[in-house]
Every structure is written in structure tokens, then in C-alpha cells.
Amino acid sequence: MSTVTTANYLNYINGEWIESNSNETIESINPAAPSEIVGVIQSSTTDDLDKAVEAAKHAQKPWRNLSGAQRGEILYKVAGLMEERLEEIAECATKEMGKTLAETKGETKRGIAILKYYAGEGMRKVGDVIPSTDNEALMFTTRVPLGVVGVITPWNFPVAIPIWKVAPALIYGNTVVIKPASESAVTFAKIAQCFADAGLPKGVLNMVTGSGAVVGGGIAKHPDIKGITFTGSNAVGKSIAHEAMKRGVKYQLEMGGKNPVIVAKDADLELAVDAVIKGAFLSTGQKCTATSRVIVEEAVYDRFVEKLVIETKKITIGSGLHASSWMGPCASESQYKNVLQAIQTGVSDGAKLLLGGKPYEDKESGGYFVEPTIFEVADQEIAIAREEIFGPVIALIKVSSLESAVEVANDSAYGLSASIFTQNITRMLKFVQEMEAGLIRINAESAGVELQAPFGGMKESSSHSREQGEAAKEFFTSIKTVFVKG
């Protein structure tokens, strides 16, 4: 079997690395040093996608017919290979999308843990025995795979998100066609090589790179793809849902967020400040669960803001490969421009700029760096308080009470994650009960969920299904009820 080269990364279809029919490529650029090309990926066509789907369709029955334990053994092997190549994968992810090396190493370790978790799922039950009204009959349920599953992933978690979709799809007997984001496709090519080297049968996992409109749109419309799992923007997610509904296939969407953190008057302010900074500025704010709004009770507002500004000024910015850098660049030039435009809109709309708000100039690299930015917002209807930015920007909102804080937190089209800082158990329980979000965090940053726990949002953040943990089984399989009578 051929392998990917150091420069030209091919599509992985039916166990082989092959060039696109288009003979066109896309450069993956290092956002910390835009003159550096990390790798070149294929600009694929619908013909390339058709070949990948056909390979997955052909491989699905023999893959499904393996035992869960046999499928799990391969996932364990993939995890072992990723452990051996951890440094290489993490460094590539940092070069492609800018996160610090410490973060990408942690993400790669998480991807390895996810593979091991789902490898174990191959030995767990797939159904239940149900009492029948006929005492001479046996009735039970079992689960069956969907078939060929299309996976469309974003650039912000180039290791963890693809794996937390691909691993459960495979362990439950599906085959996969994945379109990773172009900005991080080189990283996934290295992961795909681990699957290949682990002995995954040909056609079980296929990677096709290229434009979202061509490859992603093609996945949504393809008649032989029976399930689609997507993480990305609301606009694209809704278009995928529309196409999937027309074909009557399952779809799973994880989309945007405008995640609030409430700081109550009895909060541990040092803890809250530390968590807000990490939640808002780690990964340059490029997480769907990143802290975006900080809603603070007026009794502690001034003290909290003072501490927050002082600590945020300590953040070091630079290439994620430098050990001294705490925050890296925006992942691409377009994202960099979007963040700066959002900041300018905030200023124009009358939000008070307390810190940052400008490009951070690294004269040596010319990277896409933006200063950590803090706004104070009086009008909660302006864009900076309502629209997802996906950058190192937070909006501070002062409120008079916890009741007002929860009301403001829920006043959003999104409902992905939310956090509160308080030492009062009654306030904690009230927040848990009333907050309209899929992920609730108490005295912890808004970002972060453990791999064995369900993950997903409410309102426009999600299609209301859940990823990760045992919840993944609900999407990647269908229940079959069986009635047996001798």
C-alpha cells in the first residue's frame, strides 16, 4: 500500500491513496506563519466522492458481519499507532490550525482515549429481552448499523472531533466516508494512515478532501449515504438537514454557541477569573463551547472585571509551537478577518472596549494573531452579545440578580454550554433546572466535556441528538425488534 508523502496528501479511498480526478489541489497554510505550506490536499470532485461511497458500500456487509470484539481489536491497534505518532500528529495539528502544542497533544491523547473507549463498546450489549404476552414466544431487541455514514468535520478540533464520530460509527458496524475541513485535512490524513496501518479492511474508512459545497454537499445528497454527522456552522448544518430530510436519512448536527458564564455574588472570584480566561481564550476562542458572554452580579462586578483585565494582560501570544505561547493565531486568514470585523462592529454598536481589540503584530511571522478582547455591553441586543464570533472575544454584562442572570443567559438562539460560579447549592440547582443548554458546568469553565458523557446542545446549537459516550449508539444504529415463536 502506498503512503502519503510529506507534501502531497491524497484522498484515501478503498485502502489506497489516490489523486483527485480534478488534478487540482488546495494548500494548507500555517496561520502562525502564512508563508509556510503545511501540505497540499486534493480538491476533489463528485466522481471522487462516488468512488469513496461505492467502496464504503461494498465493504459494509463484511465489516458489519465481524463481531464487535473483532472491530474493537482494530480500534485498539489504531489507538496504539496514534500513541506512537502522538508528537507528529500534534505538531501537524498545531501547524495547520494554530492551537498550542500543549493543547494539540492533549487533544491527540483524548482521541486515543476515545478509540479505546469505543473499542470496548464492541463487547457491550446491543439489545434487551422484552417480556411477551405470549408465554411461548421470545421477544428481544437488537441494534443494526445504518450502512454508509457521511462524516463532515471542522478545523477547530482536527483530531478529537473526527475520531469521536468515526470510532462509534465503525464499532457499531457502519462504514465511513469522511470530509475533514480543508484547513486541517493534513492532520486527518495522518490519522487515516494509522487506520490503514492497523489493518482496517479496504473501503471501511474513506477520506475525500475538497470544498464543502462539492464534497460536503455531495455527502448530504448522495443516495447511498444513510446517515450524516456534521459539526460546523448553523447555515451549513441547516442545509444538510434539509437534504437529509428530503432523502429520509438520519442526520446529526452540532453547531454554534454563544455560551454564557454567570458569576454570582458569592463566587470564588479567582476561580471564576481563571476559568473565564481559559474558556474564552484557550484555542484562541475557537471552540463551539468557548465562553462568549460573562454575566456578573453587580455586587462583585467591579472586582471581577478588575481581576479579569489584570490576568488577561498576562496572556502570551505567538506560534503554538513556541513553549512560551499561551494563545496562538486564528486558524485562517478568513477567520482572522471575521474576528476583527466582529470587534469593529462591537465598537460601532457602542460596546465599551476594555482590553485588546486589535491585531497582535508578530513582525517575524506575519501570523493571524488577534489580541484577547474584552467588551463591556449595556445593550444585549447588539451583535457582539448575540452572534457567535469564534475568536478571543468576550462580552461582559452586569445584572442585578441571579434571576436576571439566568434570563439574560437564556436570551439566545443558542443553547450549547453554560456555566455558573457560586458556592450556594440552591443557586446551583436553580441554574441546572432553568438553564437552556445541553452542557451545564458548575464552578468550571464552559468549555470541556468528558468523552464518556453525552455531548450536544439545545435550540439552534444542535439537531437534539447527542454525541460521545453510550449516547452515540442512538445515532449510529437502528433498533430492530425481534419476535420468535417455535
The position carrying cell 479567582 is 270
Q: Does residue 287 form part of some domain?
A: yes
| Mean of pLDDT over the chain | 96
Contact 231, 154 (CB under 8 A): yes
Q: Does residue 358 form part of some domain?
A: yes
Task: Looking at the structure, tell me whether residues 263 and 399 fall in a common domain.
Answer: yes
Question: What are 239-247's contacts with CB under 8 Å, separation 24+?
Answer: 240/152, 240/216, 241/463, 243/217, 244/220, 247/221, 247/223
Task: Looking at the structure, tell me whether residues 204 and 281 fall in a common domain.
Answer: no
Which pLDDT value is given to residue 55?
Answer: 98
CA 225/CA 54 separation, integer angstroms: 10
Q: Does residue 214 form part of some domain?
A: yes
Contact 217, 70 (CB under 8 A): no
Contact 246, 404 (CB under 8 A): no
The one catalytic residue in 103, 107, 183, 254 is 254
Task: Compute the average pLDDT of residues 107-115.
Answer: 98
Contact 257, 388 (CB under 8 A): yes
Task: Looking at the structure, tell me whether residues 193 and 312 fall in a common domain.
Answer: no
Task: Looking at the structure, tell me whether residues 249 and 322 fall in a common domain.
Answer: no
Which CATH number is 285's domain given?
Answer: 3.40.309.10
Instruction: Give catalytic status of residue 107 as yes or no.
Output: no
The pLDDT tens digits of the residues spanning 208-220 come to 999 999 999 999 9
Please determine, for residue 6, whether its predicted confidence score (pLDDT) is greater than 80. no
Using CA atoms of 245, 248, 249, 255 in order, give the dihedral in degrees to the nearest 10: 10
Task: Compute the average pLDDT of residues 21-29.
Answer: 95
Q: Does residue 397 form part of some domain?
A: yes
Contact 90, 101 (CB under 8 A): yes
Residue 248 region by backbone torsions, left for phi larger than 0, else alpha for psi between -120 and 50, else beta: left
Residue 283 region by backbone torsions, left for phi larger than 0, else alpha for psi between -120 and 50, else beta: left
Task: Looking at the structure, tell me whether residues 180 and 123 fall in a common domain.
Answer: yes
Residue 373 region by backbone torsions, left for phi larger than 0, else alpha for psi between -120 and 50, else beta: beta
414 backbone dihedrals φ, ψ, rounded to 5°? -100, 165
Task: Looking at the structure, tell me whether residues 326 and 383 fall in a common domain.
Answer: yes
Helix axis angle for 185-197 and 86-97, nearest 10°, is 160
Q: Does residue 2 form part of some domain?
A: no
CA 484/CA 142 separation, integer angstroms: 13
Structural domain of residue 223, as residue ranges?
8-255+462-485
Task: Looking at the structure, tell me whether residues 106 and 158 fall in a common domain.
Answer: yes
Please determine, for residue 132, whether its predicted confidence score (pLDDT) is greater than 80. yes
Burial (CB count <10 Å: 0-12, 13-18, 19+), residue 106: middle
Percentage of residues in the chain with pLDDT exceeding 70?
98
Number of domains in the chain: 2
Q: For the stretch 454-471, what's the b/e string if a residue is b when 16 or more beta carbons lie within 10 angstroms of its beta carbon?
A: bbbbbbbbbbebbbbbeb
Please determine, for residue 111, whether its predicted confidence score (pLDDT) is greater than 60. yes
The pLDDT tens digits of the residues spanning 162-217 come to 999 999 999 999 999 999 999 999 999 999 999 999 999 999 999 999 999 999 99
Please determine, for residue 148, whether its predicted confidence score (pLDDT) is greater than 90. yes
Burial (CB count <10 Å: 0-12, 13-18, 19+), residue 415: buried
Contact 222, 427 (CB under 8 A): no
Which CATH number is 144's domain given?
Answer: 3.40.605.10
Predicted confidence band of residue 320 (pLDDT cuts 50, 70, 90): very high
Predicted confidence band of residue 365 (pLDDT cuts 50, 70, 90): confident
The pLDDT tens digits of the residues spanning 227-264 come to 999 999 999 999 999 999 999 999 999 999 999 999 99
Task: Looking at the structure, tell me whether residues 276 and 205 fall in a common domain.
Answer: no
Sign of CA dihedral 47, 48, 51, 52: negative
Contact 76, 131 (CB under 8 A): no
Task: Looking at the structure, tell me whether residues 295 and 437 fall in a common domain.
Answer: yes
Task: Looking at the structure, tell me whether residues 429 and 472 fall in a common domain.
Answer: no
Please determine, for residue 448, whether its predicted confidence score (pLDDT) is greater than 90. no
Classify strands 477-485 and 137-145 as parallel, antiparallel or unpaired: antiparallel
CA 334/CA 331 separation, integer angstroms: 8
Specify the pTM. Answer: 0.96
Q: Does residue 3 form part of some domain?
A: no
Q: Does residue 204 form part of some domain?
A: yes
Task: Looking at the structure, tell me whether residues 329 and 355 fall in a common domain.
Answer: yes
CA 334/CA 339 separation, integer angstroms: 9
Percentage of residues in the chain with pLDDT exceeding 90?
96
Please determine, for residue 391, whether its predicted confidence score (pLDDT) is greater than 80. yes
The pLDDT tens digits of the residues spanning 62-100 come to 999 999 999 999 999 999 999 999 999 999 999 999 999
Task: Looking at the structure, tell me whether residues 226 and 353 fall in a common domain.
Answer: no
| Spatial CA neighbour of 280 closest among 362, 339, 333 | 339
Task: Compute the average pLDDT of residues 296-323.
Answer: 97
Which pLDDT value is given to residue 4?
Answer: 40
